[in-house]
Structure 1
Amino acid sequence: MVIAIRKSDTKTDDNLVELSAADADEILETDVEVKLKWFNQPKGFGFVVPNDKDVDAFLHITTLQKAEIQNIGEGAVLICDIGYGSKGAMVRAVKAMLDAGLMPGENSEELVQKSGFNGMEGTVKWYKPDKGFGFVIPDDGKKDVFVHKTCLEKHDIDSLIPGQRIKMAVKDVPKGREAVTIELTGSNDTTVINFNPANSAE
């Protein structure tokens, strides 16, 4: 369900979403099923992705607190109201939590079982710390898997080097595949140690 909300409406109806001063108009979509992309607990915010849209919606910790949600993990599934305004998409309310996701201490295999993501191993192709992303060559022989720095940060990994062997949970995204969890296995593949990302088309 989609509702158009005007800033003036918020003055007369307490049931409408409270908008920030910068939002003159906002489109509110209610009862949207979303999956948590990532959430930084110390900083108090993260992003969710609606199942039917290629857009990230901002999620603040106070919105979770209002829904009395204390813990939330990678891949969590929520029912939310999302506002689309001049500053992008923002979760305005959390109605329910269908799945709490991957909690601290759980591994990639547990996330795969709970969320339906694909679990696999692979070899780091290249990673650019200055850019904050890289690619992994998956053992399944299919398209390389994109790895963003936020995935590393969640698992206290500073960087990756070519040839490192990893275990990961992978999700499908519009442009290919992306790692949502990553674990170092402690072994290396020397065949790609000297790989030069400048020569890669990725």
Structure 2
Amino acid sequence: MKSEHYTQAERELLMQKVQMQMSQKRFEHVLGVEKTAVALAEKYGASPVKASIAALTHDYAKERSDEEFQLVIRRDGFKLDLLNWNNAIWHGLVGADFVQRELEIDDEEILQAIRLHTTGAAKMSLLDKIIYVADYIEPGRTFPGVVEAREIAMIDLDAAVAYETKHTLLHLIETEAVIYPKTIETYNFWVAKYRRELP
């Protein structure tokens, strides 16, 4: 699929393919992320088409089995350290591989946004930031602080990345979860560094 030629019919077909891979609840989340991502793309000057495609496919592999992820990690040359993690990390980093292979989406900007949508990164493109934030603030989210996160996202996308990163890390610490190294890199850049550079 070429993102520069994206008709309504192609969007409908992509939605059908995505819906077949997940529960109804997950699909409703995906549609919420798409709506939010397109709005953010229009506000901040990114491609609404790429935002739509990346949002629709960001959780494409979320409900695949651990065994399938482990097979792909071993088969396709991923770093074997990934085997020490789980679906929370795999469905982004490895999920982009499923999207490319099964949905024939080869746009690297879209694939990278899928890879980074849960962990973030120190260096993020505009589309990376849009999908990262849209996933966090889509209309179905109801956690404490989401209203503030939405307000920030409509004013300053970088500040929204920092807000999300900080609160995601706080949640991981509170639940005593193991923290993926890239999430800490994201925090160091977008929260610690970003805050130091504010006037």
Please give the TM-score of this superposition, normalised by the length of structure 1. 0.28
Decide which structure has greater strand share: 1
Decide which structure has greater helix share: 2
Greater relative contact order (CA < 8 Å, ≥ 6 in sequence) = 2
